[in-house]
Amino acid sequence: MEKLLIIDDNADLRQQLKWGLTEEYEVLQAGDVNSGLAVFKKSLPKVVILDLGLPPHQDTSVEGFRGLAELIALDPYVKVIMLTGNSERENALKAMQMGAYDFFPKPPVITELKVVINRAFHLANIEEQNRSLQLAIEQKSGGMRGMIGQCPEMLSIFSTIKKVAPSDVSIFITGENGTGKELVAQAIHEASMRKSGPFVAINCGAIPENLIESELFGHEKGAFTGAHSTVQGKVQYANKGTLFLDEIGELPFNLQVKLLRFLQEGVIQRVGGRVDIPIDTRTVCATNVDIVRAIKEAQFREDLYYRISVISINLPPLRKRGDDILLLANYFLRMFNEEHKQKARRFSSAALNFLKSYEWPGNVRELRNKVQRATIMSDATALEPADLGCETEPPLPTDDIQPATSLREARDRVEQELISHALSRQDSTMVKVAKELGISRPTLYDLMKKHGLTTLIPNDKGLE
């Protein structure tokens, strides 16, 4: 039988409840908070009935709140049903905010109370089963650099990683920002024969065009003004290991030729150098750019694409991963509870609904950041949607947009408005504008030409 703990200083009421509930539950009793906590630690019941007014302060709710806080600190998943008088409804609502499951007026009607208790046990058992399933999935995915998932797409990706990791073929990872492309690259490295070697990551879109060649391949002393010594590039640092080229779709077209030569021949030349330097590294590339489109528009070399994409892995956006959203949210919640050494937290039912219904434009990265924010900023045990920052989501700038005659026109107007606002905020600096909008610079240029916004860029800004 399920264990039910009743903490109330009224012995007659405890006996009445025990008489009415003993056929369905193993009823445990206590007359004050301290003895109730002792019984709880020993028996670990899933549901507790707790009176708000307990000795030595029967006329206040001090002891009831203390008992609730300590019960939840011992087990954040315990379902605490508060017993309240008519004058204590405000305190009861405060208790709900602290993490109580429900509240029930005194004196309780046993038939009605049974419904609440039964529902509490049902929810507690479902949550326990879900936690067990989540832990099993996390353990099963443990060798994937912390990547967690049970949707068919992610299970297929885990299987692909295991198959391709032992070989040295080039891997091409695609997916939206925040889907975990670098985690996949790290998982491939750690499952490969090169795991004892370095894993070197470089973001091709984050380095100015005039510096990226030197950053990748290094330079010789005197190669250009300010080159006071010979510098080894990231490609050479990745020797005997794995080179991860993130956002390769942002790589300048002229450098794509030099990268292709390295991938085909396994040698590099530093900027200003004439000596071939042999490099033994595995290359993993990633992008969120539509490469097929970039090839058609002569912004990405087709021969380089075929060289880097022997095996392709496409990461699904979080909004299409179903129950993985809650799985990841609970994983991050446990992780940050431990990291910040804070009391155990849980998501309220409203927060769970928000997590499932939100579109997650920032994908897993955004989910992780929202959960971390909530664990740091909120003092509540049950996290609400507001703790996750859902009320701060910026609305689309639809002001002054006139009714459209078609979906295409409406979309074009929203695109034009978003780009115009981003140009204004970022002082027309294209790198920053593209980053804010979550698109590549070539795509940004195309959209600006499409909407006639190129006149908004001063000449000295478009090249930054």
**So what's the pLDDT on residue 86?**
61
* Residue-wise pLDDT tens digits, 407-451: 667 777 777 878 877 777 766 677 777 777 777 777 777 778 777
Share the mean pLDDT of the chain. Answer: 84
For residue 76, with 0-12 CB atoms within 10 Å meaning exposed, 13-18 middle and 19 or more buried, which class applies?
middle
Angle between helices 363-377 and 324-339 in degrees, nearest 10: 40
**So what's the pLDDT on residue 28?**
95
CB distance 243 to 235 below 8 Å: yes
Identify which of 268, 410, 404, 333 has the alpha carbon closest to the alpha carbon of residue 138.
333
* Residue 40 or residue 352, greater confidence: 40
pLDDT beyond 60 at 64: yes
Q: Please tell me whether the overall predicted TM-score, pTM, comes out greater than 0.75 for this model.
A: no
Domains of the chain: 2-135 (3.40.50.2300), 152-314 (3.40.50.300), 318-392 (1.10.8.60), 407-456 (1.10.10)
Euclidean distance between CA atoms 217 and 284, whole angstroms:
16
Q: Residue 71 — very low, low, confident or very high, per pLDDT cuts 50/70/90?
A: very high
**So what's the pLDDT on residue 389?**
79
Average pLDDT over residues 32-40: 94
Distances (CA, A) of 228 to 92, 234, 271, 354, 404: 71, 18, 13, 55, 59
| 103 three-class SS | strand
Query: ∠ at Cα 284 (281, 287), nearest 5°?
Result: 150
pLDDT beyond 70 at 16: yes
Element (H, E) at 231: strand 231-232
Percent of the chain clearing pLDDT 90 (strictly above): 45
Contacts of 135 (CB under 8 A, 6+ apart): none
E strands, 233-389, in order: 242-246, 267-268, 277-278, 282-287, 311-314, 346-347, 382-383
- Token reading at 273: 């150098």
Q: Residue 223 — very low, low, confident or very high, per pLDDT cuts 50/70/90?
A: confident
Q: Residue 327 — very low, low, confident or very high, per pLDDT cuts 50/70/90?
A: confident
* Residue-wise pLDDT tens digits, 225-273: 888 898 999 999 999 999 999 999 999 988 999 999 999 999 999 999 8
Query: What are the φ/ψ torsions at residue 198 (nearest 5 degrees)?
Result: -75, 150
Identify which of 390, 463, 455 has the alpha carbon closest to the alpha carbon of residue 419.
455
Average pLDDT over residues 179-196: 93
**So what's the pLDDT on residue 397?**
45
Percent of the chain clearing pLDDT 70 (strictly above): 88
* Residue-wise pLDDT tens digits, 149-163: 888 999 899 999 999
- DSSP characters for 359-403? --TTHHHHHHHHHHHHHHH---SEE-GGGGTGGGPPPP--TTPPP
Give the chain's length. 464
pLDDT beyond 60 at 363: yes
**So what's the pLDDT on residue 390?**
67
pLDDT beyond 50 at 392: no
pLDDT beyond 80 at 317: yes
State how beta strands 171-174 and 311-314 pair. Answer: parallel
Euclidean distance between CA atoms 380 and 457, whole angstroms:
47
Distances (CA, A) of 154 to 150, 323, 343, 367, 464: 6, 12, 31, 17, 38
Identify which of 369, 412, 416 has the alpha carbon closest to the alpha carbon of residue 389.
369
**So what's the pLDDT on residue 464?**
42
Distances (CA, A) of 79 to 49, 132, 168: 9, 18, 53
Q: HSE (CB half, 13 Å, CA atoms) of 429?
A: 9
Euclidean distance between CA atoms 341 and 337, whole angstroms:
6
Q: Residue 335 — very low, low, confident or very high, per pLDDT cuts 50/70/90?
A: confident
| 199 three-class SS | strand
**So what's the pLDDT on residue 454?**
66
Average pLDDT over residues 110-128: 89
Q: Residue 393 — very low, low, confident or very high, per pLDDT cuts 50/70/90?
A: very low
